[in-house]
A and B are shown apart, each in its own frame.
Chain A
Amino acid sequence: MPTQANFSSLDGLHTFPRLLFHHAKTRPDAPAMREKSLGIWQTWSWADVADRVRALACGLAALGFKRGDNLAIIGDNRPHLYMMMTAAQCLGGVPVPLYQDAVANEMLFVLQDAGVRFVVVEDQEQVDKMLEVKDQVTTLEQIVYDDPRGMRHYNQVFLHDIHELMEMGRIHDRNHPDFLNTEVEKGHFDDVSVMLYTSGTTGKPKGVCQTHAAFIAAAQGGVQVDKMTADGDILSYLPMAWVGDHLFSFAQAMVAGFTINCPESAETVMTDLREIGPTYYFAPPRVFESLLTSVMIRMEDAGQIKQKLFHHFMAVAKRCGGDILDGKPVAAADRFQYWLGNLLIYGPLRNVLGMSRIKVAYTAGAAIGPELFAFYRSIGINLKQLYGQTETCAYVCLQPDGQVKSDTVGAPAPGVEIKIADNGEVLVKGPMLLKEYYKRPDATAETINPEGWFMTGDAGFIDEDGHLKIIDRAKDVGKLANGAMFAPNYIENKLKFFQHIKEAVCFGHDRAEVCAFINIDVGAVGNWAERRNIAYSGYADLAGKAQVLELIKTCIEEVNASLAHDAMVADSQIHRFLVLHKELDPDDDELTRTRKVRRNFIAEKYKVLIDALYEGKTNQYIETEVKFEDGRRGKVAADLKIIDVKTFPVARKAA
Chain B
Amino acid sequence: MSRQIGDVILDLQSISLRFGGVKALTDISFDIREHEVRAIIGPNGAGKSSMLNVINGVYHPQDGKILYRGVERKKMEPHMAASTGIARTFQNIALFKGMSVLDNIMTGRTLKMKSNLLLQALWFGPAQKEELEHRRKVEEIIDFLEIQHIRKTPVGRLPYGLQKRVDLGRALAMEPQILLLDEPMAGMNVEEKQDMCRFILDVNDQFGTTIVLIEHDMGVVMDISDRVVVLDYGKKIGDGLPDEVRANPEVIKAYLGAGH
Give A residues with C-beta under 8 Å from B.
36-40, 149-150, 152-153, 264-265, 267-268, 271
Chain B: residues with CB nearer than 8 A to chain A? 1-2, 135-136, 139-140, 142-144, 146, 148-149, 151-152, 202, 205-206
| Contact of A38 with B149 at beta-carbon distance under 8 Å, contacts A152-B206, A153-B2 already known | no
Contact A39 B139 (CB under 8 A): yes
For A152, list chain B residues within 8 Å (CB).
Answer: 2, 205-206
Nearest CB of A to B131, in Å? 13
9 pairs, CB–CB < 8 Å, chain A vs chain B? A39-B135, A39-B142, A40-B139, A149-B144, A152-B205, A152-B206, A153-B1, A268-B149, A271-B149
Q: Are B1 and A264 in contact (CB under 8 A)?
A: no
Taking the closest CB of chain B, its distance from the CB of A455, in whole angstroms, is: 43
A38 touches B2 (CB 8 A): no
Give Cα distance in the complex from A271 to B205, angstroms.
32
In whole angstroms, how far apart are the Cα atoms of A268 and B149 in the complex? 5
Q: How far is the CA of A149 from the CA of B146 in the complex (A)?
A: 12
A265 with B146: CB separation less than 8 A? yes
| Chain B min CB distance to A40 (Å) | 8
CB distance from B212 to the nearest CB of A (A): 23
**B206–A39 contact, CB under 8 A?**
no
Distance in Å: Cβ of A268 to nearest Cβ of chain B: 4
Residues of A within 8 A of B143 (CB): 37-38
- CB-CB under 8 A from A36, the residues of chain B are 148
Q: Which residues of A contact B152 (CB under 8 A)?
A: 271
Given contacts A36-B148, A153-B2, A264-B149, 5 further A-B contacts (CB under 8 A): A39-B148, A149-B144, A153-B1, A265-B146, A265-B148
Residue of A nearest to B137 (CB): A38
Closest to A40 in B: B139
Most chain B beta carbons < 10 A, residue from A38, A40, A150: A38
Chain A residues positioned under 8 Å from B202 (CB to CB): 150
A268 touches B148 (CB 8 A): yes
Residues of A within 8 A of B142 (CB): 38-39
Residues of A within 8 A of B146 (CB): 265
Closest 9 CB pairs of A and B: A267-B149, A38-B139, A268-B149, A39-B139, A264-B148, A268-B148, A265-B148, A153-B2, A38-B143
Residue A265 contacts which of B136, B144, B149 (CB distance < 8 angstroms)?
B149
State in angstroms the CA–CA spacing of A40 and B139 once bound together: 9
Instruction: Name the B residues within 8 Å of A40 (CB-CB).
Output: 139
* Chain B residues near A265 (CB-CB < 8 A): 146, 148-149
Residues of B within 8 A of A39 (CB): 135, 139, 142, 148, 151
Question: Shortest CB–CB separation between residue B13 and chain A, in angstroms?
Answer: 35
Which residues of chain B come closer than 8 Å to A271, judged between CB atoms?
149, 152
For the complex, give the distance between the alpha carbons of A387 and B15 in Å. Answer: 74
Which residue on B lies nearest to A39, using beta carbons?
B139
**Complex Cα spacing A316 to B11, Å:** 75
Taken together as a complex, chains A and B put the C-alpha atoms of A153 and B3 apart, in Å, by: 9
Complex Cα distance A115/B179, Å? 48
Q: Separation in Å of the A290 CB from the closest CB of chain B?
A: 16
- Are B140 and A38 closer than 8 Å at their CB atoms? yes
Question: What's the minimum C-beta distance from B211 to chain A, rounded to whole angstroms?
Answer: 17
**With A and B bound together, what is the CA distance between A40 and B143 in angstroms?**
12
B207–chain A nearest beta-carbon distance, Å: 12
Q: Let me know if A38 and B206 touch, CB within 8 A.
A: no
* A267 and B2 within 8 A (CB): no
Which residues on A sit within 8 Å (CB–CB) of B140?
A: 38
CA distance A40 to B1 in the complex (A): 33
Chain B min CB distance to A149 (Å): 8
A153 CA to B202 CA, complexed, in Å: 12
Nearest Cβ on chain A to B58's Cβ, whole angstroms: 34
**Cα–Cα distance between A362 and B229 once the two chains are bound (Å):** 60
Contacts of A150 in B (CB 8 A): 202, 206
- Closest chain-A Cβ to B133's Cβ sits at a distance in Å of 12
A36 smallest CB distance to B (angstroms): 8
Contacting residue for A267 out of B1, B136, B148, CB 8 A: B148
A150 CB, nearest partner CB in chain B, Å: 7
In chain A, what residue has the closest Cβ to B1? A153
Give the CA-CA distance A37 to B148 in the complex, in Å.
10
Q: Nearest Cβ in chain A — how far from B206, in angstroms?
A: 7
A351 to chain B, nearest CB (A): 17
**How far does the Cβ of B197 sit from chain A's closest Cβ, in whole Å?**
14
B22 CB, min distance to chain A CBs, angstroms: 45
Inter-chain CA distance A247–B71, complex, in Å, is 65
Give complex CA distance A153, B205 in Å. Answer: 10
State the CA gap A271–B148 with chains docked (Å). 10
Give the chain B neighbours of A149 by CB distance below 8 A: 144
Q: What is the bound-complex CA distance between A149 and B142, given in angstroms?
A: 14
B44 to chain A, nearest CB (A): 34
Q: Which residue of B lies closest to A265 (CB)?
A: B148
Given A264-B148, A265-B146, check contact A38 B1 (CB 8 Å).
no
Give CA–CA (A534, B135) in the complex, Å. 58
In the bound complex, CA of A265 to CA of B150 (Å)? 11
**Residues on the B chain within 8 Å of A37, using CB:** 143
Closest to B152 in A: A271
Give every chain A residue within 8 A of B135 (Cβ-Cβ). 39
Q: Which residues of B contact A267 (CB under 8 A)?
A: 148-149
Chain A's nearest CB lies how many Å from the CB of B80? 32
Contact partners of B148 in chain A: CB under 8 A: 36, 39, 264-265, 267-268
Chain B residues whose C-beta falls within 8 Å of the C-beta of A268 in the assembled complex: 148-149
The distance in angstroms between the C-alpha atoms of A138 and B205, with both chains bound, is 33
Query: How far is B206's CA from A37's CA once the two chains are assembled, in angstroms?
Result: 20
CA distance A39 to B146 in the complex (A): 12
How close is B235's CB to chain A, nearest CB, in angstroms?
A: 38
Closest partner residue, chain A, to B198 (CB atom): A150
* Closest A residue to B153 using CB positions: A271
Give Cα A153–Cα B146 distance, bound, in whole angstroms. 21
| Residue ID in chain B nearest A38 by CB atoms | B139
**Complex: A268 Cα to B1 Cα, angstroms:** 33
